[in-house]
Amino acid sequence: MPMSLQQSCAAGIFAMAVSAFFAFEASAQTPPVRPKPVMTTAITPDAELPPRDSELYCKNIAEAASEARIEWQTWKLISLEARLRSRISELQRKEKEFEKWVERREKLLNEVEDQVVTIIGRMRPEAAAAQLSTTDEEAAVGVLLKLKARIASAILDEMEPARAAQLTQSMMGLTGPVEQRSF
C-alpha cells in the first residue's frame, strides 16, 4: 500500500534523525574538537531561512507520492467495480431463480384452485354453501366466480341471506357494507 505524503515526510524526517544520531555517536567517541570562534552576523527578521532537509525531501517526493496514491486509488476502484459486477450478476441469477419459483408456485396454485372449484362444483349445493360460508370472503368470491352461473346460484340459494348478499355484493365489486351504490 503506497504511503501518503505525510507518512513519506515523517519517514524522511525519521531517517535523517537516525543518521544524525549515528553521526553524533561516532563523533562522541573521538575527542571533541574545539571550534574556532567565528564572527556571526545578526539575522534580521526579514531574512529568509534556507529550507530544512525534511522540507526539501517532502517537496522532492510529493509528485511521486501523489502519483502512487492515484495509482493505488485507481486499482482500488477497479477491484471494487469488479466486485460490484460480480454481485450484480449473482443478484440477476437469483432474480431469475426467484421468477422461475414464482412461476411454478402460480402454476401450482392455479391447478389447486381449479381443483377446489371443481370439487365445490360437484358438491351438493347445501354442502358447498356450508363450506363457502366458513371460508374467507375473498376465497369464497373467487370460487363462486369460477363456477358456472347455475351452480353458483344454487349454492348462494342455500346460504343464509346475509352471507349470500355479502358475497354477491363482493362479486359485483361493491366492497364495504356502509357504502350505498345505485345502479
Tell me the per-residue pLDDT of 59-94, one tens digit each, with 9 for 90 and over: 888 899 999 999 999 999 999 999 999 999 999 999
Q: Predicted confidence band at 183 (pLDDT cuts at 50, 70, 90)?
A: very low
What's the rounded Cα separation, in Å, for the pair 64 and 71? 10
With pLDDT > 90 as the criterion, what percentage of the chain qualifies? 36
With pLDDT > 70 as the criterion, what percentage of the chain qualifies? 69
Give the residue extent of every domain in the chain. Answer: 123-171
Confidence (pTM): 0.40
